[in-house]
Amino acid sequence: MAENLLGPTCQSCGIPLMRADDFGREANFVIKVDYCRYCYDKGKFHEPDITFDQMVEKVAKFMMSRREMPIDNAKAQAKALLSQLKRWQGQR
């Protein structure tokens, strides 16, 4: 388990889940506690076929848009973060 992550985080992209609105939902509107609504909504993943590397790329770009950092740095951080998440276990 990822003990160093504070509070619930999306187990797909690693963003912190702070408000009820941030969580994904099942088709019957029950909250899916493991995932954010950008990754998972109405009972399914938005991008069911996305690979670990593609998600690293995506999260790295998101990190760069929020903080100025070199792409290699952002990718290394994204990789470290995502490799702890449930969705990517067994995919590395």
CA 13 to chain centroid: 1
CA distance linking residue 11 with residue 81, whole number of Å: 10
Residues 36-75 binding Zn ion (CB under 5 A) are 36, 39
Q: Give the burial class of 51: count Cβ atoms within 10 A of its Cβ; 0-12 exposed, 13-18 middle, 19 or more buried.
A: exposed
Q: Does 11 bind Zn ion (CB under 5 A)?
A: no
Binding mask 20-39 toward Zn ion (x if CB under 5 A, else -) reads: ----------------x--x
Contact between 13 and Zn ion by CB under 5 A: the answer reads: yes
Q: Interface with Zn ion includes 12 (CB under 5 A)? A: yes
What the block records as the tokens of 35 is 């995932």
Question: What's the token pair of residue 21?
Answer: 């609105």
10 lies in the binding site for Zn ion (CB under 5 A): yes
Per CB under 5 A, residues contacting Zn ion are: 10, 12-13, 36, 39
